[in-house]
Amino acid sequence: MTDPYKILGIAKTASADEVKKAYRKLAKQHHPDLNPGNAESASKFKDISGAYDLLSDADKRARFDRGEIDASGQERADASFYRSHAGGPQGAKYRAGPGFDPSDLFADMFARSGRGGGDFHEFRMRGSDQSYTLTVDFLEAAKGAQKRLSFPDGRTIDVNVPAGAETGTVLRLRTQGQPGSGGGPAGDALIEITVETHPLFRREGNNVVVDLPITLTEAVAGGKINVPTIDGPVSMTVPAGSNTGTRLRLRGRGIAPKGHSAGDQYITLKVMLPKEPDAALSDFIENWPGRNYDVRGT
Amino acid sequence: MNRSLHYVATEIGVTVEDLTGWIERRWVLPIRSGKTLAFDDADRARIRMILDFHRDLAIDDEAMPVVLDLLDRLHATRAQLRAVLQGVADLPEAAQTMVFKKMRGEAEQ
């Protein structure tokens, strides 16, 4: 355990204001986002913010001074700092300036140092790829959809989300990334799809699975019911004697990715008693000769 | 994972007004799909960073764009350096040694 007063470099008698000042000074020095590439800064910052956490809270500070609690910093996941994204494809839109043109960099560097750049020629280079993520709802992913994306720089593009897209599907849009340099082609935009869950539908491969409540009457006597599918409700017959867990199939009502035949929809039945107890039903059950039927194999 | 404006504001502990202001000032650049803004992991980490800078480091609205701009330039330069080093890694060993010697010499000046 390290002494939080020592970490912040202050006396035990420091005022709340002095605690804050000391913390700010150290945080400006050691915040991991101000120290990209310095691995040590993350653990230093953890100690500093842990100490500040404790000492900036009058109640926690008093308890620490009485020896009731220990100082312990909260480790912040590295991914929560911007620096761990800044160099990656998602950080590309924030990195200042146009795409990397090595000849510009050489010209700039050698102009400053007053030395010649040698026989340096302009590079023709393809622009870099840029990654984006796009969230679509279950039905859009199942049936395919067109989404318009507006980029931070004002460009818009229409993305055709193909039928059957899944979370993790990556669409490559040619030449929609960073511009190239020296007459080189633009990079590509890579769009990663995230599919939201649906309250009713689940996906198993190209099949769609639905849990469907039915009445006791429909379970015992069978009947026609309306079943939601990704293309709207469809009428279906529940066979007499259906049970909770009975699985029915609607052939070809699942997801049809391009070039594949459509999957099926599976309906898992769930028998529901009336919401309110029903006297007539209770009477019937109590007098029903078959009421002691075995379901647990005992 | 993509998140919406209200989710992100609540998750990170920033007010919707502040976050909206940061987006208007282009400190944060979420992409827009129809009427919804989508924040990726980098956007969210950046919001956390701006919040830290604002609340803990007392960097005010006047100084923030300067800090962010310099940081973005630093990351651009680091990305360029990384690209250069990747190129160097493909060179024969003798050439690599020459480059590294030069780099060390420049650094020591």
| Chain A touched by B57 (CB under 8 Å) | yes
Of A59, A76, A93, the last residue of a domain is A76
Q: For residue A4, count CB atoms less than 10 angstroms from its CB and return exposed for 0-12, middle for 13-18, buried for 19 or more.
A: buried
* pLDDT classification of A38: cutoffs 50, 70, 90: confident
Which of the listed residues A137, A160, A195 is the one where a domain comes to its end? A195
Whether residue A96 has pLDDT greater than 70: no
Asked if residue A20 is part of any domain, the answer here is yes
pLDDT band at A112 (very low <50, low <70, confident <90, very high): low
Question: Distance of CA A227 to CAs A47, A256, B30, Å?
Answer: 58, 19, 39
Within a domain: A112? no
- Determine whether the interchain pair B46/A97 forms a contact, defined as Cβ–Cβ distance below 8 Å: no
Q: A242 to each of A229, A237, A269, A285, B1, how far by Cα in Å?
A: 20, 11, 8, 18, 41
Given a contact cutoff of 8 angstroms between Cβ atoms, the answer to whether A108 and B73 are in contact is no
Flag residues of chain B having pLDDT under 50. none
Say if strands A265-272 and A207-215 run parallel, antiparallel, or are unpaired: parallel
Residue A161 lies in a domain: yes
A24 band by pLDDT with thresholds 50, 70 and 90: very high
Which residues does residue A98 pair with via DSSP β-bridges, in sequence order?
none
With respect to residue A101, please indicate whether it lies within any of the assigned structural domains: no
Co-location of A282 and A207 in the same domain: yes
Q: What is the pLDDT of residues A68-93, one digit of tens each?
A: 887 665 667 777 889 988 888 788 88
Q: Do A82 and B48 touch (CB under 8 A)?
A: yes
Q: Is residue A84 part of a domain?
A: no
Element (DSSP H or E) covering residue B37: strand B36-38
Q: How confident is the model at residue A123 (pLDDT cuts 50, 70, 90)?
A: low
On the 0-12 / 13-18 / 19+ scale of CB atoms within 10 A, A110 is middle
Is the Cβ of B25 closer than 8 Å to some Cβ of chain A? no
Residues A157 and A225 in one domain: no
Q: What is the pLDDT of residue A103?
A: 63
- Give the ipTM: 0.80
Domain assignments of chain B as residue spans, ordered by start: 5-56, 64-108
Question: Distance from B41 to chain A by nearest Cα, in Å?
Answer: 8
Mean pLDDT rounded to a whole number for chain A: 86
Neighbours of A21 (CB within 10 A): 15
Asked if residue A22 is part of any domain, the answer here is yes
Residues of B in contact with A152 (CB under 8 A): 26, 29-31
End-to-end CA distance of chain A: 60
Is position A119 within any domain?
A: no
Domain count, chain A: 3
Do A137 and A188 lie in one domain? The reply is yes
Q: Are residues A208 and A278 in the same domain?
A: yes
Cβ contacts (< 8 Å) between A150 and chain B: which residues?
31-33
> How large is the average pLDDT for residues A139-146?
94
Least reliable range by pLDDT among A99-103, A167-171, A179-183, B3-7:
A99-103
- Are the CB atoms for A236 and A267 separated by under 8 Å? yes
Domain at A67, CATH number: 1.10.287.110
- pLDDT score at A156: 84
**Do A206 and A281 fall within a single domain?**
yes
Residues A151 and A205 in one domain: no
Query: Domain boundary at A195, A213, A231, which?
Result: A195
Which residues does A264 contact at the CB level (< 8 Å), separation at least 6?
A: A207, A208, A249, A250, A251, A252, A253, A254
Which contiguous run of DSSP H or E holds residue A55? helix A40-55
User: pLDDT tens digits for B23-33?
Assistant: 999 999 998 87
CATH of residue A150's domain is: 2.60.260.20
Q: Is residue A267 part of a domain?
A: yes
Residues spanned by the domain of A148: 125-195
Pairwise CA distance, residues A57 & B93, whole Å: 56
| CB contacts, 8 Å: B74 with chain A | 36
Q: pLDDT > 90: what percent of chain A?
A: 49
- Residue A135 in this model has a pLDDT that exceeds 90: no
